[in-house]
Amino acid sequence: MARPRQHVFLVPGFFGFANLGDLKYFAHVQEILEARLAEHGIEAHVVQVKTAPTSSVKKRAQRLLRQLCDHAGGDDAPIHLVGHSSGGLDARLLVAAGGSLSNDLPADEMAARVRSVVSVTTPHHGTPTAGFFTTVVGGRVLQILSLS
């Protein structure tokens, strides 16, 4: 019997990175998820999303959409999003944007394939840190951080 295929995207939060030296943002999560799902007969294609760590939520959601198209656009398998911190906001915007994320990508079609969004420690009601980054000093800090 063929195992059902699923796409799982791990979406990092603000200041998120795939790897920082030997430190991995989602250390071992990809391997563990694939193994546990395989134990239940589910073939999972788990992708760690490469994001623009200090960009706006909309730009991060657009980048998430691009990666969904790149990694899952060749089939019609279900998609699951796991967002950590502001990565949960990126995922939520992607599924709720009504196609406003892109003129050249099938935003509505990809969002319609999303079967679940899991948000882990996501600030759905905002955070005081976000207010800081809208100030002049906060903007400069973001510029410096984005260069590194």
Query: 39: pLDDT confidence band, cut at 50, 70 and 90?
Result: very high
Which two structure tokens, joined as six digits, stand for 33? Answer: 């998820």
* Averaged pLDDT for residues 16-43: 80
Closest to 7 (Cα-Cα) out of 87, 112, 79, 109: 79
What pTM was computed for the model? 0.80
* Cα distance between residue 119 and residue 140, in whole Å: 29
* Averaged pLDDT for residues 15-40: 78
Q: In this predicted structure, what is the pLDDT of residue 102?
A: 82
